[in-house]
Each structure stands twice: as C-alpha cells, then as structure tokens.
Amino acid sequence: MSEQKTVRFIVTRQDSPDASPYTEEFEIPHRENMNVISALMEIRRNPVTVDGKDSAPVVWDMNCLEEVCGACSMVINGKPRQSCTALVDQLDQPIRLEPMKTFPVVRDLVVDRSRMFDSLKKVKAWIPIDGTYDLGPGPRMAENKRQWAYELSKCMTCGVCLEACPNVNSKSDFIGPAPVSQVRLFNAHPTGEMNREERLNALMGDGGLSNCGNSQNCVQACPKGIPLTTSIAALNRDMTLQSFKNFFGSDKL
Amino acid sequence: MPQNQEFFNRRLHSLLGVIPVGVFLIQHFIINHFAVYGASSFNAAAHFMESLPFRYALEIFVIFLPLLYHAIYGLYIAFLGKSNTRRYGFFRNIMFMLQRVTGVFLVIFIAWHVWETRVAAAFGADVNYDMMADILSSPFMLVFYIAGVLAATFHFANGLWSFAVSWGLTVTPRSQKIMTYVSITVFLVLSYIGIRAIIAFLDPALANM
C-alpha cells in the first residue's frame, strides 16, 4: 500500500481580539473531496502542529456549508472566499488560512462582521411595513425585473468585497460595496421605493458611497457574481440627482 | 465639524479635477505646443496669455484655488486608501493605485513648476522660450518634466474615467469599457502634445526662429 497522502495547512491564529497573531502549521491525512472546513474539523480532532506541539483547536465560523450564509469567509491562499466551497484538491499547498483582517478578529479565523450589519441598518436595507393590520397583497413586480433583482438579493453579507476593497480599512469609515448594492435592491422594489430618498440620503452621508475609489476589486472578488460596480455607478447617478433635488427642491416624489 | 460634508467635498474634488483644472491642462499644453513653431511663436502665445484681461482673477479662481483644493483634498483621499495591487492585480485596481501615485507626484512636480515659472515671474523673471530651454537643458530636469507631463496626462485621462463613474454618467460595464478607450485616447493625444512641446525646447534651431 502506498504512503498516506497528507495536506499541509498554515493557519494564522490569534488567541483574543487584542493578542498578536502567530502562525501554526498542521498536517492532516488527505481524504477525497475534502473542503477547508472538513480539514479544519480534522485539525480540531487532533490539534497537534507539525512540530508535535499540542495546540488549541482552531476556531472558525460556519453555518450553512453551501455558500449562501457567508459566515465561513476567510482568506485562503491570499484570496478572501468561503471555506465551505474551497476544495482542498483545487488549492496549492501548503494552504494558508488567515482571518479577513479588514474586520476585527475575534479569535483565530473568526471575525466580527458587525460593521456590515450596522451599515445595512444605516441605509435601511429593508421594507418598513409595520404589520399592525393586513395591507393586502403588495404591488406585483414584473417577472424580468424580479429576475434582475434576484441577482442583487444573492448578497450574503460575507464581507469578501469589503476585504478586497482598498478603501475599506482602519483609516477610513467607507461603508463598502455590499450595503450599497442592497440600497439598489430595495429602491427597485415597488413598495421599498417608498423609502428611496431616505436610503439615498443615508448613502450620501459621511462614510457613505462617495468614498468609493473605483478600484473595482469588489466585483471581481464577489463569490456571488453580484454586479457591484454597476450598482455603485447606478447609485452615484441617483445620488447626483438626489443632491440636486435636496438643493433645489423637486416637483416629483 | 459640519456633518455630511463628505459627499459635497468628494463631488467638488471630482468636478474641479475636470473643470477647471483639466481644461486648464489642455489649454496649457496647447500654448506649450507653440514652441514647435519656434521661439517667437511660443513667446507671442505666452505673452498673449499674460496679457489677458483680469489676469490675476483668472489665475486665482480658474487655476490656483481649484488646483489647491484638488491637491490637498486629493492627498487626504490618497492616504485614506490602502493599496492592495499585489493581492488583486486587476487592471482597475492598478489604475486606482497609479491615480494616487501620480497625484502625489504631481503635487511635488506642480509645486516646483509653479515656483520655477509663475513665482519667478512675480519676482521679475521673464517666462519665455529661453527660460524653458534653460530649465530643460539639465538632464535631470528634462526627465523630471517628462515624468511630470506623463503623470499629468495619465492623472487627467484616468480621472475622466472615474469622473464619469462618480457622477453616474457611465453605469453599465460596457459604457465603462468604452470610457476606458476614450481615456486611453485622451492620454495618448495629450502626452503626444506635451512631449512634443518639451522636445521643441531642446532644439537649437527653433530657439532662433
């Protein structure tokens, strides 16, 4: 029988939010069709580094395991992506795992993506109908528009676009691409349109969309293929018109 | 600190880069290009610009104030970013980085260029063909000026592209791609005009024309 194939991992670890990061190397037996998460589970079973040192199990975040929740995003061989769909056989070894450092690191590969959820609140990325009484069915949406909107609704707030953006960092408070595209989604909705101006004005606030530097990394990095830069340019146009409306007033709603 | 100034500041920065700074750049290059027809031709064109009515008002409101705002706020923008071209070597990301690098370089170049020409003129120097021929006779200054011209044309051409996105003129990927070709053309044409003028200052035959 041939020798057991193995997989090597170099994991960037950090014990607490304020601790300084360090790397540890692990080697685990190879299995068919392994993804990065199943490899991390294997490390968790026997957390011993290649030097034979006993270590704590690596901590990471995960939920759906089918690339729709965005929780397991991490930087794998230099690229931010979901670890559930990162297949070990398609990656160069040793496989380097790092947290997405654009966000505050909680521990090891777990980051705190709160800023994204706060941004969604800031731009009111929802449709406020209070639900105290039955409003009846909402307006219908044309099927081709629904299909178009579905593409934007694929955003899972994974944070990969923010990680790839040169203007989202500790020095700037730029909101980042993901929430911007959600404004476009909810502004396009027949009922959501009601709060269009509120959302646009939120995007025009400090830390809003005007900080975009058009490096267009986001659209290249998005695992869901969302046309983020088209959303950005479309909202730039809406913001231009809204700023004129704010200044001069308007006869239209 | 006033709240929600950022949108206005950024849009103003984007607008001033094209109007009037970009327009002035084109005008400046066209005047420079008179050097190709000889020293007297260039001197006549430079003298015409100098003798425009309301010269100081034009200089202050069309050139210096917009340029200063664009330069200072631009430096602030440049240092807010954190370049990551090593990780993401995409075309637009490299343009993003070059826009900031050329911008910072232009602040240095233009400061020096204004000092050497306009400030010198205020102290009595005559800005003419001989002055430029003299400056460009030094190999270091020649390289510095060529780099300055190329940085300016790149920064303007690529800035036109981002202006179109920032104001929402080009929204779709196809329109942005066409704008990329437009900006490349602007870069090539302006670079040709600018470099040709520099070369004209090196030609002794033109100095006596």
Q: Domain residues of chain B, as ranges?
A: 6-207
Give B1's pLDDT tier (boundaries 50, 70, 90).
very low
Q: From CA A164, how far away is CA B87, in angstroms rounded?
A: 9
**pTM strictly above 0.90:** yes
Mean pLDDT score, B159-182: 97
Q: Which pLDDT value is given to residue B2?
A: 56
Q: Is A234 in Cβ contact with B162 (below 8 Å)?
A: no
Nearest Cβ partner for A215 among B79, B96, B168: B96
Residue A1 pLDDT exceeds 80 = no
Q: Is the pLDDT of residue B3 over 80?
A: no
| pLDDT > 70: percent of chain A | 99
Strands A73-76 and A79-82 turn out to be antiparallel
Residues written for chain A: 253
Instruction: Measure the N-to-C terminal CA separation of chain B; round to a whole number of Å.
Output: 57
Structural domains in chain A plus CATH codes: 6-111 (3.10.20.30), 114-248 (1.10.1060.10)
Confidence of residue A4 (pLDDT cuts 50, 70, 90): confident
CA–CA dist A109, A33 (Å, integer): 22
- The C-alpha atoms of residue B184 and residue B202 are separated, in whole angstroms, by 27
Task: Give how far A3 is from chain B: nearest CA, Å.
Answer: 35
Q: Answer yes or no: are the C-beta atoms of A176 and A116 closer than 8 Å.
A: yes
* Residue numbers in B near A217 (CB within 8 A): 84, 88, 90, 92-93
- DSSP H helices, chain A, are 36-45, 114-122, 143-153, 160-164, 177-188, 196-203, 217-221, 228-248
pLDDT band at A176 (very low <50, low <70, confident <90, very high): very high
Q: Is the CB of B163 inside 8 Å of chain A's CB atoms? A: no
Q: Which residues pair with A111 in a beta bridge?
A: A105
Is pLDDT above 80 for A3?
no
From CA B125, how far away is CA B117, in angstroms rounded? 8
Residue A201 pLDDT > 70? yes
- In the stretch 85-114 of chain B, residues with CB closer than 8 A to chain A read 87-88, 90, 92-93, 95-97, 99
* Average pLDDT of every residue of chain A: 94
Instruction: Note whether B169 contacts A237, CB cutoff 8 Å.
Output: yes
Domain B6-207: state its class. mainly alpha
Q: Which residues contact A167 (CB under 8 A, 6 or more apart)?
A: A174, A211, A212, A213, A215, B80, B81, B82
User: Are residues B168 and A237, on separate chains, in Cβ contact within 8 Å?
Assistant: yes
Residue A157 to residue A36: CA distance in whole angstroms: 20
Q: Per the structure block, which two tokens stand in for A217?
A: 């990394």
Contact A22, A13 (CB under 8 A): yes
Coil, helix or strand at residue A23: strand
pLDDT at residue A2 greater than cutoff 70: no
pLDDT (mean) for A70-89? 96
Give me the total of CB pairs closer than 8 Å, taking one residue from chain A and one from chain B.
Answer: 110
The token pair at A188 is 């396009």
**pLDDT confidence band for A129 (50 / 70 / 90):** confident
